[in-house]
Structure 1
Amino acid sequence: MEAGHPSPDSSSEECTVLEALSGKGLDCHTHTGKVGHTHTLILLPSPNPPPPSPPTHTLLLHTLLLLHTHTTLHTLPPHTPSSTDMLTMCVCVCCLQVTALYCSGCEVCVCEECASGEHADHPTGPLLAALETHRDGLQERLTAAQNRLPQISEALVSLREILQQLTNQRALIEEDIHVSFEELHKTLDVRKSVLLMELEVTYGLKQKVLQAQLDTLLHGQGGIVDTCTQTEKALSGEASAASLQAERGLGETLGELASQGLPFQAEENDQLDLLMEAEGLRKSIHKLGTIITTSAVASQSEASGLGLEQCIVGLPACVTITTRDKAGGPCRSGNAILSAEVCTPDGSVADGEILDYKNGTYDFVYTVNKEGEFSLALRLYDQHIKGSPFRLRVTRSPDPEESPPTTTATSLTATATTSTGSSEGAKRRGKSPGSGSKKKGSRRTGSALGTPRRKENPIEDDLIFRIGTKGRNKGEFTNLQGVSASSSGRILIADSNNQCVQIFSNEGEFNSRFGVRGRSPGQLQRPTGVAVHPNGDIIIADYDNKWVSIFSSEGKYKAKLGSGRLMGPKGVSVDQNGHVIVVDNKACTVFIFQPTGKLVSKFGSRGNGDKQFAGPHFAAVNNNNEIIVTDFHNHSVKVFTPEGELLLKFGSNGEGNGQFNAPTGVAVDVNGNIIVADWGNSRIQVFDSSGSFLSYINTSADPLYGPQGLALTSDGHVVVADSGNHCFKVYRYLQ
């Protein structure tokens, strides 16, 4: 039968079954391509002529159902279906009967006979229900796919920011390289000029001596030659009474010349050499500068250790951070930019430090000094690592007499869980300080929280005023650290997380602020210490930039010192000679520099010996030019000579008079009294010059929380950085 002709028994009202002959194809004006000769095509019925609407009819009229069967002719009974019928009918794949049933198991249309036959064990149902189920599933997948779009957009924004920061950082480093080598060139040129000048001066001195000696000999030689010539001339003439007098004069002159003392031995030598020990410098130049980077990503990096699960209130706890790359492989180098914060819900921050082991692992050592709910946030390149932030709940165990018999010690413990799921790294345990043995806790005295009993400290109303709240505006702070006071009546605050220094009057009035965030000279990344030089310059220790910056009294950048030597400067001070004292918290070393940047001396190393430090924080200088250093993790204060010889050590770990729980800020008055900020005990203690305890400063009206830097104002008050409360406070003392 030719394609396109009706079957002999069909009518215009019947569905037309078109049969493709062997070797021929059948075209459809709606669908591209040919229908194969082994296919039977069935066109669903429609009114004749077909109406132009609804669109569903037109669509179905052009729907070709390609049935893989033998070439046969099928005539369907006359029928004019409704729109609903047409949407819910299909042809049974077994017997080619029009049906509205669907076998979900086989995913084909079946008639009722087949549904009760070979598909009897299969789930069947109305085609419409199958269509709805399919569409519901499709809608769910559509929604799921669309839900990814905000995540993709957020990731794109983040990646663009990282790429922009990377580009900016490259430009900054490129500028640093140019500036550094230009400075080296200038330094070399200056040294060249100095050497040439020294050469000229040295040559001039030696040449002057030799030239004077030469002139003396030439003058003597000339006198002898002239006199000898005259004498020879006189002797060649006839002797007479007239020539006798002249000859007598020549004889006397010759006698004088013959006995004249002349400098026949050289009074200088010809040595003029150059000793240029350049080989070591050349080797240093070949190794000068290193591009530091790491492949660590926050999403793969993880934390572990007992510090995630428990800590003793007032004692250091340790968390180990293992950095990993995008594939989860461990990073083997250090210098990743990590930050850590232990916060209470009200925003108070506990103190801690990050130790870089240069092998891809880091320790965050922190101390919690009161009970409550805490949040531990660990960030790598400003992104939370896996499992961060962690939730810490610090609780107090019952008293020993109320404890079960198995309890042998009173302890304050902190438990940690993750707020975003468990960290895989938490399965591995890091060794925290003191984890080798179980330490006993003790009840805290009233003075431990800055509220000493009156009999211990009879001074009342020591607080004069407080300035600041948490924020980024002028007069607001975020984790303030160092404090300094100038002789001109100014109070300077190192506002660490706001990357600036704020200046106030002794009465607490805001004067000015300066500082731009960054890692280039003149910028601040994490200012922690501040001091005022006698010439008015402002000296700032930048912990993250690993150098000390010097600004004018108006905040204009002048120079930096310690770059390449310092690892983590925390506190700064100025001695009686105008030298800059730098406490390197990471290196556990005290450096002494000239304001020009020349290193005068250094002393100290990591350890718990008398001349060693464990995380030193701040320093002060007394009238004898002795350096007083707070040794944070060794819970003591040490006094040294400028040469680094230990003179005095006082303090031990505890909460009693004269004991410390991680001392931080320190200052010394004109009488030699030493004022110390006791960070873990949230108090300020006063000692005499021999280290004997004198008094507390009463902080009961507005308790301290993690005091940091401390200084004495020009009008005789104590100013302290109350870091946890994001403010500074001014107190009376010894009155």
Structure 2
Amino acid sequence: MEFYCESCETAMCLDCTEGEHREHVTVPLRDVVEQHKAALKTQLDAIHSRLPQLTAAIELVTEISRQLNERKNEAVADITSTFEELERALHQRKTALITDLENICSTKQKVLQAQLSSLLQGKEHIQSSCSFTEQALSHGSATEVLLVQKQMSERVTALARHDFPERPHQNAHLDCQVETEGLRRSIQNLGVLLTTAAVAHTSVATGEGLRHAATGQHHTVTVTTKDKDGELVRTGNAVLKAEIVSADGSRAAETEITDNKNGTYEVGYTLRSEGEYSFSLLLYGQPIRGSPFRLRAVKPSDVPQSPDDVKRRVKSPSGTGGHIRQKAVRRPSSMYSTTKKKENPIEDELIYRVGSRGREKGEFTNLQGISASSNGRVVVADSNNQCIQVFSNDGQFKMRFGVRGRSPGQLQRPTGVTVDMNGDIVVADYDNRWVSIFSSDGKFKNKIGAGRLMGPKGVAVDKNGHIITVDNKACCVFIFQSNGKLVTKFGGRGTSDRQFAGPHFVAVNNKNEIIVTDFHNHSVKVYSADGEFLFKFGSHGEGNGQFNAPTGVAVDANGNIIVADWGNSRIQVRQPLSAYLLHFISFTGCRFNPQPAC
């Protein structure tokens, strides 16, 4: 065999090259063998390079397996020790109860036995005296009777007058009452096994503070844990560590981690100095996807626009004043949709867009809140431009007001905005930590909530004129009178019906009920005007009726609840008196996520 047919991929002799393979391309066999050797060597080198990676992976998985068994053994030892201690405590309590029982019984018996002895002795004296006297009377002589009368009269009279203890000096009440039902319930719920399927290589971090930070300002990053298949983990208690170090390896800032108990975690930090930093996020000791992150800290005035700002912004076409009509895409029907024709169908056709990117009148850099007034005006809060802009209902610019600063009447980071019954404009200022009230023409009137609010985001006004403010950082809702007096507050960080995890915006319906978007709990919660929980809807997901971080919320004249589903890039509408979201508008292909609603 000296030749090789490339067409047939086979070795052959000289005779074959003149036979059936005469029209095929043939080459010397030794050249092909050398090529194959070289190719195999390249492949062998490539696969050999995988061995250290596989060895490291085997060591890591083996170590995790060892740690898992070690923790299991530690947990078994803890459980055994705890229950043995409880058994000892139960035995000690049993012994103490029996000892106390014996002592109480013994004390009562001593009293009763002393009384019984006295009674028996009295009875014996009476019986002996009666017997002696009766015998003398029956059989004695006159002389004996006289003697007995003298002797026994005093004794019998004394016995007749003697005060014997005839009424019991103690009682037989001695019961043991042991309330076991509550203890049984406690025992049934005693001990909780904490675990999670979260792994580092699929878990992700998001947030403006992941790569850019302003010195002296508090930033947060959200870590979302996922399992090996990339599915969201919906339970907390994962072991997450965060570290920010400078170029020389020294720790640059303290980090605080808040477990939202739903698979997400808030990592907060504040950097004091400008510079480049390494931001590491470790889940069970392993870096999450993308970690460590390059973090750059600059002065607040030099903060660049974040990708999220660009993502959330709706760009209008070049030029101004042009109206565009564009059909949104309706999602396919699901178990939550209905085939019944709606009496008041909701149009999902884009009517027009307002604004473009910039810092001039009618332009935005990060619009956060929006509100429609009864007199036909649309009010917009622009967070990065630190201003409030007002438009007509057809999108024509009317006015703008706001000056950056931290004094009353100035704006530092306006987020939520609404218009009260008097036409005054109410603005939630996130960084100034208060709510500012301006007249309809933009003149500052008052500020409320200073010293109470930590990070106000959404704001609304109810039928009583109360100003309802969502505190994003404190995870609660404040209700103020227009003069700033606190009426009530409710909420707190958590996952229960009366708790929130990063609530964003708020709306009030025609029943004066308070509707709050719970960002990290991926739901919308409804409360009475006094803050009593009524119901909630939504869960985490991409299906109809589910949310991925809801933000803006509004209620229309028909009572429909309109929700900006930020993470799913769509608007969802829930009809009143319905348990489901019935109408869905998806912004497929758009370069923004909907946030405000009015």
Q: Which has the larger radius of gyration?
A: 1
TM-score, scaled relative to structure 2 = 0.48
TM-score, scaled relative to structure 1 = 0.40
